[in-house]
Amino acid sequence: MKRPSVQKIIINIIVVIILIALIIMAFRGRGTDTTDYSPALYGTFLSLLPPIVAIVLALITKEVYSSLFAGIVVGGLLYAGGNPEHAFNTILYHEEAGLVPNLTDLSHVSVLVFVVLLGTLVVLMNRSGSAQAFGRWAEKHIKSRVGAQLATILMGILIFVDDGFNCMTVGSVMRPMTDSHKISRAKLAYLLDSTAAPICIIAPISCWAAAVSYAVPEQYNINGFRMFLETIPYNLYALTTLLMLFLLVLRKTDYGPMRLHERNAIKGDLFTTGVNSYAEEETVTQVPNAKLSNLIIPVVVLIVCCIAGMAYTGGLFDGESLIDSFANADSARGLVMGTLIGVLITFWLYMNRGVMKFKEFMNAFPAGFRSMCAPMIILILSWNLSGVTRLLGAADFVHTVVESSAASLQMFVPAAVFVISVFLAFSTGTSWGTFTILIPIVCAVFPATSEMLVISISACLAGAVCGDHCSPISDTTIMSSAGAHCNHINHVTTQIPYAMTAAAVSTVGYLATGIIGFYTNSKLALLGTPFALLVLFIVVMLAGRRVAKKA
């Protein structure tokens, strides 16, 4: 008789526990869902239990939908004090965290519309034969796997306005080329993810700069945008991640699960586990004499229109400066406006060139929607899980931990803030929510003129990006999987060893930077940045030698 796998045993145990808990708690009576209701576990470590359950299950089962749902159910029961009816209403209808309110939230709906429109644009470009034309161009000009990966990295660096837009656009354009050079989808997803948030968090003109500017409390008389600019050279995780990309690609070094994926890709298997669920949308239409401009023009128009759309929502055309317009921008609404205009201009271009008929254009919309169903479901469940976690007071728990220990840490505050920020962003799947929570705490610890304040805020931003980078419930991670058409769990498991390497080096860098900054209170603390980059270089060299010996 065949024994059940460990995975099945774990799943069965969890299901039985949940069923028993539901039966027992059904006799506890109705819960009271009032505006002043506060769960008994509010602000304790257990407030982080729902995302921990979701993440652990996702890594064990390699399946993300049920894992996210299990985390949501655990969060709902914790919030409701064990009452199933109250938990059910919380999960579905709570105005701050429920599934239905999340689907009616303007910014969330805007993100979903943006994803569908971008999927539609990808379908249009595929059916126009532009992917075929781009493949022919790439064969002539990009001759190697290293060249294909470097081209992907450089394009990701150039599109620095928004991380989700970055992942989806670069993935759509570069996927045919990386496939032709036998680069695994997991590696492509890693390249997308590592040039999305890490480049946005050090780009002055981006929606991230605006978010950081607003996170700095007004009562401390600190210019938020200027503070953001000062944190850029101290953002060790973003800088080490970008350096690591080039080192891994140029030295042809891969380790951890990624090594297996890359070896299989060279043999012809781009996915390693499972099949390509996006196969229908990736079918390339053979169009005689297809033009490369059918790809270049839509992509350029899309980038320009999205940047203009974000600036418009921030008041650029009402007299605001370019910097202020990006600081005030509604990025989700701007991206929808820009993508819609991009789709319409692409339609006009293709119709005038005789590439596509009206009926074919309209059929691209349902095809684009189908291609993005998987990432949209994950996004919706992630929003639901994040909302339930917020109701349990995870932010207040972290606030208490940091505030109670900051005074005694002194020179070690940057490293401590980085680690805490990583943990919080990993658990909640949101980098913006993480630094919004932690920046006011850091501002209360150090005076406005202290160099340690700049270092600590940069550590907060770096940790938020790192945790977001690793988390399977992060929007950016989900978008990277979607952009690469990669199995989501494959992307998470192959990326974590690389992200943890950069995180460990960044922690060492913040220890050095914090010590120098504490004793000098000057820009001499910047010496910690080249130190961290040097340590990363040595680590990657050693990893490459170890892999070579094993090979």
Most confident of 276-280, 341-345, 506-510: 506-510
Share of the chain above pLDDT 90, in %: 18
Distance CA 171, CA 484 (A): 5
First to last CA, the chain: 38
Whole-number Å distance between alpha carbons of 461 and 176: 34
pLDDT in tens, 352-384: 888 888 888 888 888 878 877 877 887 788 788
CA distance 432 to 137: 39
Select from 199, 196, 206 the least CA-distant residue to 238.
199
Report pLDDT digits (tens) over 383-414: 888 788 888 887 777 667 666 655 556 678 88
Res 33 pLDDT > 50: no
Confirm whether 511 is domain-assigned: no
Q: 20 with 124, same domain?
A: no
The answer to whether position 62 is within a domain reads yes
Q: CA-to-CA distance for 215 and 212, rounded, in angstroms?
A: 5
User: What is the mean predicted confidence (pLDDT) over 156-184?
Assistant: 79
Token pair recorded at residue 128: 């126009």
- Res. 415: pLDDT tops 80: yes
Q: Is the pLDDT of residue 327 over 80?
A: no
Q: How many helices (H) and strands (E) does the chain have?
A: 27, 0
Q: How far apart are CA 194 and CA 238, in angstroms?
A: 8
How far is 427 from 30, CA to CA, in rounded Å? 30
Domain that holds residue 329: 105-217+278-372
Q: How many CA atoms lie within 13 A of 418 on its CB side?
A: 30
Q: Is the pLDDT of residue 247 over 90?
A: yes
Residue 32: the pLDDT is 44
Closest CA to 329 of 341, 318, 342: 318
Of 330, 356, 372, the last residue of a domain is 372
385 neighbors 72 (Cβ within 8 angstroms): yes
Distance CA 32, CA 37 (A): 7
CB 109 within 8 Å of CB 286: no
Give the rounded distance of the alpha carbon of 353 from its chain centre: 37
Q: Can you tell me the mean pLDDT for 148-156? A: 88
Separation CA 158–CA 339 (nearest Å):
18
Residue 326 parent element (H or E): helix 322-327
Is residue 167 within 8 A of residue 482, CB to CB? The reply is yes
Same domain assignment for residues 56 and 113: no
CA distances, 486 to each of 260, 320, 326 (Å): 15, 41, 32
Burial of 81 (0-12, 13-18, 19+ CB in 10 A): middle
Which residues, 6+ apart, have CB-to-CB distance to 215 below 8 Å?
Answer: 224, 435, 436, 439, 440
For residue 171, being part of any structural domain is answered with: yes
pLDDT at 288: 58
Q: Which pLDDT value is given to residue 277? A: 63
149, pLDDT greater than 60:
yes
Give dist(CA 526, CA 522) in Å, integer: 9
More confident residue, 128 or 551: 128
Q: Burial, 310: exposed, middle or buried (Cβ in 10 Å; 0-12, 13-18, 19+)?
A: buried
- Shared domain for 23 and 78, answered yes or no, is yes
Residue at a domain's end among 94, 129, 156: 94
pLDDT the model gives residue 30: 44
Q: Region 205-217: what's the mean pLDDT?
A: 65
For the chain, the C-alpha Rg in angstroms (whole number) is 24
**463 in a domain, yes or no?**
no
* Domain's final residue, options 328, 349, 372: 372
Same domain, residue pair 110 and 90:
no
Do 66 and 117 fall within a single domain? Answer: no
Is the model's pLDDT at 349 over the cut of 50? yes
Q: Which helix (H) or strand (E) holds 324?
A: helix 322-327
Instruction: Tell me the mean pLDDT in the region 332-352.
Output: 86
- Minimal CA–CA distance to 505: which of 275, 320, 242? 242
Give a yes or no: residue 58 inside a domain: yes
Q: Are residues 65 and 14 in the same domain?
A: yes
Is 78 contained in some domain? yes
Asked if 272 contacts 260 with a C-beta cutoff of 8 angstroms, the reply is yes
Same domain, yes or no: 145 and 82:
no
Residues 26 and 55 in one domain: yes
Highest mean pLDDT among 38-42, 219-223, 247-251: 247-251
In a domain, residue 113? The reply is: yes
Other C-beta atoms lying within 10 Å of the C-beta of residue 489: 19
Residues 86 and 114 in one domain: no
- For residue 529, give the amino acid letter: T
pLDDT value, residue 29:
43
Question: Do 109 and 84 belong to one domain?
Answer: no
How far is 226 from 122, CA to CA, in rounded Å?
A: 38
- For residue 90, CA distances in Å to 69, 85, 134 come to 14, 9, 49
Q: Establish if 363 belongs to a structural domain.
A: yes
Q: Residue written as tokens 């169903």? A: 373
The mean of the pLDDT values for the chain is 80
- Would you list the DSSP string of 56-117? HHHHHHS-HHHHHHHHHHHHHHHHTTT-HHHHHHHHHH-TTT-HHHHHH-HHHHHHHHHHHH
85 and 160, same domain (yes or no): no
Q: How many domains does the chain have?
A: 2
- Cα angle for residues 334, 278, 176 (degrees, 5° grid): 80
| Relative orientation angle of helices 293-313 and 130-141, to the nearest 10 degrees | 110
Instruction: Based on the fold, state whether residues 120 and 86 are members of the same structural domain.
Output: no
